[in-house]
Structure 1
Amino acid sequence: MNTAHRIRMNPTPEQAEYLKRACGTRRFVYNWGREQWEKQYQAYKHEQETTPEQERKLKPPTALALKKQFNALRHETYPWTGDVTKCVVEGAFDGLGRAYANFFAGRAQYPKYKKKGKSHESFSLSNDKFTMGSHWISIPGLGRFILDQRQITKGRGKLLRSLGTVNLAEKLRFVEQGSVRTPAKKRNQRKQVICEAVKILGATVSCEAGHWYVSIQVEIQKQRPLTPTPVVGVDVGLKQAAVVSDKRRLENQRPLALHLKKLGNLQRKLSKKQKTKDPETGRTTFGKNYEKQRRKVARKHQQIANIRRDIQHKFTTELARTCGVIGIEDLNILGMMANRKLSRAVADAAMGQLLQFLKTKVANAGGDLFIASRWFPSTKRCSCCGQVKKRMPLKHRTYECLACGLVLDRDLNAACNLAWFATDMLRQLHA
């Protein structure tokens, strides 16, 4: 099984400067590849339309060909790209290739240029280019970069390893069975995941709201846990984030609505900070106070997302450990976001994230997850006799069946129907 562990980094100002330069280099290389891809594709398309087949010479662009082309002129035209590890350049072209592959497969929009301050700042490291320790990670090229900045010539070999090591807030939670060391604190013991084998596949360093994180991708092998027996259905919504057929409920905390006033004040202050636009080049220059305020806004958004994510993580973890078979309903999130009266509440509930957590954790716990079609009448159907109503508006919070007389909460009735769907699918699976 492939999974990842995201860990907070605590770099020094010198180390943070290297990380920023690495992110900027990746952004530049990605944009260079995006520009060359468009030019070469237009030339290839023009040749296909105007030149006979026997005289055609151009081929459609690929990420591998663009990487070879960039490496051929890199040291002469862009020598500053050598200040960071070569994984930055390789990762940029890998990301460009995936972006175009997703576009051609219909999974994403056409790749866009990455803009400083707008795009997600990150870069990747291959598994053989970094070293993980207890609470540190050694990033290639970092120590030499700091030494070159300090212009130190003596003792380079001795200082290189220590300068290239970045402190981590915690150590990797996945531990091989033979090398288990029992932590002193019970809190750290609960974090450990004992595995038969652990193989590091790579890492991704990213910046979010001024904080640096590293996501370690690993391939683990561990025994499949005993599958619990209960079969339940989970109905997600706005008034209550999730309702389980066994009457467990997850209240919608609405973190965005609670922090909306504070967030509005911070954004209002941000709009008044100094920024000037050059009429000739069209570039906007932001002042230092603007950057400080922008970081405050970003951290408020991060706080809201962390509150929502923490609640959903705890709920889905408990559900995956106690239930063996779960039935959920596929939702048209984009269609719900199109409703201007409910779009903010739908975004605040993060129903898609809750369903994604369930998919991942149920699979890890050894359970089965069955997804009903978005046209499955979980809300309109009676969970007792199976009678389906023609209409069930949102204002009706109680389900009343005219056939059998069942009176039940609307969301609980939908959860019971999803539990029935999961039971039926499980029966067909083992038939």
Structure 2
Amino acid sequence: MSNIHLALSGICLYNNSMIIGFKTQLKINQSQRLLLAKHAGTARHAWNQGLCLCKEVLNYNRINPDEKIKFPSAIDLHKWLVVSVKVANPWYYEVSKCAPQYALRALSDAFKAFFKKVKGFPKFKKRGRNDSFTLDGSIQIDHRQVKVPVIGWIKTYERLPHGVRPKSVTISTSADKWFISFKIEVEPSDSLKLVDVVGVDLGINHLATLSTGEVFDGAKSYKSSENKLSRMQWLNRRKQVGSSNCKKAQLKVAKLHRKVANIRKHTLDKITTYISKNHAVIGIENLNVRGMLSNGKLAKALADMGFYEFRRQLEYKTQLYGSKLVVVDRFYPSSKTCSSCGIKKESLSLKERIFICEHCLFECDRDLNASINLEKAARSVVSACGLDSADTSRLKQEENVSNC
């Protein structure tokens, strides 16, 4: 079992507490909407101007290898912005100075990721697509409103966390709605789990099949809205580009895309929360989602399920609810191996939905058989790596409850 490892979550741990993100919708008026749009436009303009300068530096270094210029850092980009760009664009002073500063920091981080070959080359930003900006300074949170620099107090639709003083906030837009997000510190819970170890197999027909026999279906929100979305995009194609009717049609398409994404995210949230709260150790397979999406026949159904988001949510929720996540190697033959006798099949096509073992004549659902094998793999990792005292006491409590 050397090809199986424990997954590490991407959340931050500080003094036995966790730092997670909090995001909620803003309740704004027309003047605040205009001011938020100015901040987002300034941040976008700073990003594009900084990207132009970086591309010029790279081209110059490529043409003149003997007279290379130092690639600008975030501080260098900000100094250049103050001297050159702000002088030519006085509307920069109508918004907070933090918006362009954080945009240039994000640009510098994007180039660092590009040079490390983690991500691709940064691209220019277009108005209306993922507009966002970050602010810091004197930020206050009071019940259902938050105070940010320059903009002032902004109301929210839901109650905000009490006693939180974030150092920075990020405000973004989706279609015609604005959202604010910041980080909060929470204490992980260590509640009693109903099942100690469980295996989870992801699929297209059913989103998640547990080794306990439970089956969770995906939302399939894109599939249900595909015809409506296609019709709206066809109508939008017949509008004159840049006209008022074209903008209205684009807004309708954006709203429908947001609805599809929210339905999918809500379904994944419910399923991952249930699994993390009720199971001590969870075993999943390290799927090659990018490679699977290259299959043109299955790409649409796979993207509609959200396999990567499912694993991402499990990674931080297992730490939040005191569970452990075991990620099994992608080459582990969970579907081809018989969960009864352990014999591996030579081949297993996607059409075979019932697993039939030729050695012991064991019959089982294909996804259920894979989830049982993932559970066994997770148990072997737990027994090999060992559990801490808290995990041992929790499992003893579970055994006592089951005995009763």
- The TM-score with structure 2 as length reference comes to 0.88
What is the one-letter code of the residue matched to 1:3?
I
Question: Any idea what the Cα deviations from partners look like across 1:396-417, whole Å, max 9, x if unmatched?
Answer: 0011111122100000000000
The answer for the alignment partner of 2:33 in structure 1 is 16
Deviation at 1:76, TM superposition (A): 2.1
Distance 2:141 2:133 in 1: 17
Residues 1:313 and 2:269 are matched in the alignment:
yes
Question: Any idea what the Cα deviations from partners look like across 1:76-110, whole Å, max 9, x if unmatched?
Answer: 22211111111101111111011111112222110
The answer for the alignment partner of 2:347 in structure 1 is 391
Q: Which runs of 4+ in 1 moved over 4 A?
A: none
The 1:199–1:18 alpha-carbon spacing in structure 2 relative to 1, beyond 3 Å, is closer
Unaligned runs of 5+ in 1: 143-163, 177-197, 276-285
Residues 1:226 and 2:191 are matched in the alignment:
yes
User: How many residues are matched?
Assistant: 369
What is the one-letter code of the residue matched to 1:404?
C
What is the one-letter code of the residue matched to 1:171?
R
Q: Percent identity?
A: 30
Deviation at 1:201, TM superposition (A): 3.6
Distance 2:80 2:123 in 1: 21
What is the one-letter code of the residue matched to 2:230?
G
The answer for the alignment partner of 2:216 in structure 1 is 250
Q: Secondary structure at the match of 1:108?
A: coil
Deviation at 1:253, TM superposition (A): 3.1
Deviation at 1:226, TM superposition (A): 3.5
Deviation at 1:336, TM superposition (A): 1.4
From 86, 102, 121, the counterpart of 2:131: 121
Distance 1:355 1:13 in 2: 39
From 145, 165, 169, the counterpart of 2:157: 169
Question: Quick check: 1:136–1:168 contact (8 Å CA) kept in 2?
Answer: yes
The answer for the alignment partner of 1:179 in structure 2 is none
Deviation at 1:348, TM superposition (A): 1.1
Distance 1:32 1:402 in 2: 65
Distance 2:156 2:165 in 1: 19
Question: Quick check: 2:188–2:319 contact (8 Å CA) kept in 1?
Answer: no
Deviation at 1:245, TM superposition (A): 0.4
Q: Secondary structure at the match of 2:339?
A: coil
Question: Any idea what the Cα deviations from partners look like across 1:184-228, whole Å, max 9, x if unmatched?
Answer: xxxxxxxxxxxxxx552421100101111001222x142542363
Q: Secondary structure at the match of 1:60?
A: coil
Residues 1:62 and 2:73 are matched in the alignment:
yes
Distance 2:261 2:344 in 1: 38
From 288, 300, 325, the counterpart of 1:369: 325
What is the one-letter code of the residue matched to 1:167?
K
Distance 1:121 1:129 in 2: 23
Question: Quick check: 2:188–2:320 contact (8 Å CA) kept in 1?
Answer: no
What is the one-letter code of the residue matched to 2:156?
L
Residues 1:136 and 2:145 are matched in the alignment:
yes
From 201, 204, 209, the counterpart of 2:170: 204
Distance 1:359 1:124 in 2: 26
Q: Which has the larger radius of gyration?
A: 1
Distance 1:206 1:368 in 2: 33
What is the RMSD computed on CA atoms of the aligned residues? 1.6
Q: Secondary structure at the match of 2:119?
A: coil
Q: Secondary structure at the match of 2:38?
A: helix
Question: Any idea what the Cα deviations from partners look like across 1:246-304, whole Å, max 9, x if unmatched?
Answer: 111111332111111111111111111111xxxxxxxxxx1111111111111111111
Question: Quick check: 2:141–2:165 contact (8 Å CA) kept in 1?
Answer: no
Distance 1:326 1:199 in 2: 34
What is the one-letter code of the residue matched to 1:235?
D
Distance 2:117 2:346 in 1: 35
Q: Secondary structure at the match of 2:127?
A: coil
Residues 1:30 and 2:29 are matched in the alignment:
no
> Which residues in structure 2 correspond to 1:329-348 (within 5 Å)?
329-348=285-304
Question: Quick check: 2:337–2:344 contact (8 Å CA) kept in 1?
Answer: yes
Distance 2:273 2:244 in 1: 42
Distance 1:111 1:19 in 2: 24
Unaligned runs of 5+ in 2: 1-17, 388-404
What is the one-letter code of the residue matched to 1:104?
F
What is the one-letter code of the residue matched to 2:133?
F
